[in-house]
Amino acid sequence: MSNAVSNELENQIISNIDDLKSQPEAQSIIELSDTESIHYDGRHYDLIYDNFYPFSNLAKIDIPFWTDMVSQYGEPVLELCCGTGRIAFPLAEKGLQVTGIDISDSMLGEARKKSDRVEWIKADVCDFDLGKQFSLIIFSLNSIYHLLRIEDLESCFNCVKKHLKPDGKFIIDMLNYYTKPTIEAMWSPLPTLYSVYPDPDGRGTMVVTVVNELDVSAQIAKSKLFFRLIEQKKEFVEETKLRLYHPNEMGNLLKYNGFIIETQLGGYDKAAFTSGAPNYIAICKLGQ
């Protein structure tokens, strides 16, 4: 069965888009605590991004890029913050040797259901010791933004250095948030439609909206995600924080932590990085 919403529901959503973007009329609102998450509940995560509004193929857009990177730089591959295996799984399906580490039991639980060809390991990317080295270590789709403190980032870089073969490559992929349209969107106080999907517990349709708040001086983006079960008029509210590293800052942090940046790309089409590029992708090797 497909994870995506039906065409009928998709058309209904598109015709009612203004209505869906407005604040929900929930009769019951439940604020999730710091230790609870629907976003990173593995059963919800894939559904959220398979049905990301405006119904793009976001969930798969970067996979050909990573497949290409592995054919260029070799295996075994280690994916940091692998989540439900959105990337690690299709790489392993191609017969590649892949290890994925993540801190969340729920995300790894979903990953394990997909494949036992990947070595799934529960670990903190800031403190891990796998006892082996990799030809390629990847940090995909903004996961590096979860490292809120520079100290965490530097501990992670130290672990990466121990796990990289002498001629191995380390690739970081993050969105380039520091473009004018993105900054403006992050400041917008209006709720934006994020995803619509069938609730995995059978409670009907889940509509997700988001409100972002950006603290420019701390470079912290706070996002409030509203998960509304339409039929039940029930809403869950979850807050997440991301540290939006500036591309130039990331370049310097890599350099001063012993990496040499060989190539900087601006997107999955492998165009060179420019200040208006959608992504910042740094391909690095170990310094001497």
Ligand X SMILES: C[S@@+](CC[C@H](N)C(=O)[O-])C[C@H]1O[C@@H](n2cnc3c(N)ncnc32)[C@H](O)[C@@H]1O
Site for ligand X in 24-63 (CB under 6 A): 40
Stretch that binds ligand X, among 11-19, 135-143, 177-185, 197-205 (CB under 6 A): 135-143
Report the nearest approach of ligand X to the CB of residue 147 (Å): 7
CA 179 to chain centre: 19
- Residue 82 interacts with ligand X (CB under 6 A): yes or no: yes
φ and ψ of 211, to 5 deg = -125, 125
Report the nearest approach of ligand X to the CB of residue 236 (Å): 18
Nearer to ligand X, 58 or 185 (CB): 58
Question: Among 44, 114, 146, 163, which residue sits at the site for ligand X (rule: CB under 6 A)?
Answer: 146
Nearest partner of 247 among 176, 195, 168, 142, judged by Cα = 176
Question: Among 5, 38, 48, 81, which residue sits at the site for ligand X (rule: CB under 6 A)?
Answer: 81
Report the nearest approach of ligand X to the CB of residue 66 (Å): 9
Nearest partner of 88 among 56, 55, 110, 57, judged by Cα = 110
The residues, ordered by sequence, that sit 6+ positions from 52 with a Cβ below 8 Å of its Cβ are 58, 59, 194, 195
Nearest partner of 212 among 229, 227, 194, 197, judged by Cα = 194
Q: To the nearest 10°, report the CA torsion of 124, 163, 250, 91.
A: -80
Report the nearest approach of ligand X to the CB of residue 79 (Å): 6
Question: Among 20, 73, 89, 143, which residue sits at the site for ligand X (rule: CB under 6 A)?
Answer: 143
CA 114 to chain centre: 18
- Residue 83 interacts with ligand X (CB under 6 A): yes or no: yes
* Tokens read off for 236: 């869950």
Report the nearest approach of ligand X to the CB of residue 51 (Å): 14
Helix (H) or strand (E) holding 72: helix 63-73
Amino acid at 132: K
- Residue 102 interacts with ligand X (CB under 6 A): yes or no: yes
- Residue 70 interacts with ligand X (CB under 6 A): yes or no: no
Interface with ligand X by CB under 6 A: which residues? 40, 81-83, 86-87, 102-104, 107, 124-126, 140-141, 143, 146
